[in-house]
Amino acid sequence: MQIEPREHVAAWRIALAPVAAVFISLLIGSVLILWVGASVLEAYSLLVKGAVGSSFALTETLTRSIPLIFTGLAATIAFRAKFYNIGAEGQLYCGALAATFFGTGLITLPPLLMIPFLMLVGALAGGAALAVPVMLKTHLKVDEVVTTLLLNFVILLFVGYFLEGPLKDPMSMGWPQAEPIIDEGLFPSLVDKSRLHFGFVFAIIGSVLCWAMMRFTVWGYEIRAVGLNASAAKFAGINVNATVIRTALISGGLAGIAGVSEVAGLKGYLTLDISPGFGYTGIAVAMLAQLNPLAVILSALFISMIYVGADSMSRAINIPTYIADVLVGLSVLSILVSVMLTRYRVRFR
């Protein structure tokens, strides 16, 4: 078996790669559905119906995609620079904690200022959470994968301490949850009688801004150059360490905003279960989008469809909801192969 690079990478192959990956994942996932004894086509059509089949389902899918777009962007920007930030989960909670700290009455501003202010402090907190791992990487050569992964656990415990201690809502009947965000800080609703909130607009704007940054700015150029070949970038006069640190802060900031959006947009208050692993799923989102910030919107919508749809499918045909996580895990693996096949051809001889 020989793997050879293709001389020319056709655009249709790049566009087709995620489609193929999704198809393969669904195909492998169908084994698990057959095990339940359900019909595969029926199960998947239930999934689609549960995700987009009614206006309620549709708004739920869009709502669920908001944090995934932000964490997907966080992974996209970082992975572009080959900085493996696996800590978006923790950074998300840091953003949520900051929004709770400032947004529950400490500061009151008119909504037009309050919402951007909360997003700013959330982004700063998310970035700060990544500051230690990135400095350890650039200055002491400590691998960022393990430090960011381990910090997720530390941060979750830290948030748990705040929710049971200093930030606990005295009216919460003993549940570990924080006081609600004041009305000025709450994101406006987008569609009446649904949970869809203004965070979706912010997420779209965020994707476009990230895309523009990567495409048209010096920062974006430096991020891509460092990711493609750090030593060549250094030789060309790019300050690699400064670029990696900047990338990390942007990435952490995006994950932090995901936390703000969940607290100030969706729930209204912080609990320990605002994220069922959005940080990790963001990696799948970024990979399916082939690290393209605009494509992140589509892949986040798709993965959110799987989660929302799997919930209703599992209720209908009694299949464990973990099927959604299995499909997401499979899609990370299959997108790797299908993207490789856009760039290489495999020859058997």
Footprint on residues 108-137 left by other proteins (CB under 8 A): 136
Q: Whole-number minimum distance, CB 332 to other proteins, in Å?
A: 4
Question: Does 310 help bind other proteins (rule: CB under 8 A)?
Answer: no
Question: Does 160 help bind other proteins (rule: CB under 8 A)?
Answer: yes
Tell me, rounded to whole angstroms, the distance of Cα 135 from its chain centroid. Answer: 23
User: Any residues with CB less than 8 A from the CB of 162 and at least 6 apart, and which?
Assistant: 97, 100, 168, 178
Among 154, 205, 212, 228, binds other proteins (CB under 8 A): 154
Question: Does 105 help bind other proteins (rule: CB under 8 A)?
Answer: no
Q: Whole-number minimum distance, CB 3 to other proteins, in Å?
A: 6
Question: Does 36 help bind other proteins (rule: CB under 8 A)?
Answer: yes
Question: Does 306 help bind other proteins (rule: CB under 8 A)?
Answer: no
Question: Does 276 help bind other proteins (rule: CB under 8 A)?
Answer: no
Residue number, 110 or 170, with CB nearest to other proteins = 170
Q: Whole-number minimum distance, CB 220 to other proteins, in Å?
A: 21
Question: Does 288 help bind other proteins (rule: CB under 8 A)?
Answer: no
| Contact (Cβ atoms closer than 8 angstroms) between residue 255 and residue 88 | yes
Question: Does 325 help bind other proteins (rule: CB under 8 A)?
Answer: yes
Question: Does 16 help bind other proteins (rule: CB under 8 A)?
Answer: no
Phi, psi of 178 (to 5 degrees): -90, 170
Question: Does 35 help bind other proteins (rule: CB under 8 A)?
Answer: yes
Question: Does 86 help bind other proteins (rule: CB under 8 A)?
Answer: yes
Q: Whole-number minimum distance, CB 271 to other proteins, in Å?
A: 15
CA angle 268–170–102, rounded 5-degree value: 45
How far apart are the C-alpha atoms of 243 and 247, rounded to whole Å? 6
Among 280, 285, 296, 304, binds other proteins (CB under 8 A): 280
Question: Does 316 help bind other proteins (rule: CB under 8 A)?
Answer: no
Among 17, 66, 130, 149, binds other proteins (CB under 8 A): 149
Question: Does 336 help bind other proteins (rule: CB under 8 A)?
Answer: yes
Q: Whole-number minimum distance, CB 281 to other proteins, in Å?
A: 8
Closest CA to 88 of 55, 129, 51, 53: 129
The CA-atom distances, in angstroms, between 327 and each of 7, 154, 193, 333 are: 33, 28, 30, 10
How far apart are the C-alpha atoms of 307 and 65, rounded to whole Å? 10
Among 203, 283, 305, 306, binds other proteins (CB under 8 A): 283
Question: Does 68 help bind other proteins (rule: CB under 8 A)?
Answer: no
Site residues (vs other proteins, CB under 8 A): 1, 3, 32, 35-36, 79, 84, 86, 136, 140-143, 145-147, 149-154, 157-158, 160-161, 164-165, 280, 283-284, 287, 318, 320, 322-323, 325-326, 328-330, 332-333, 336-337, 340
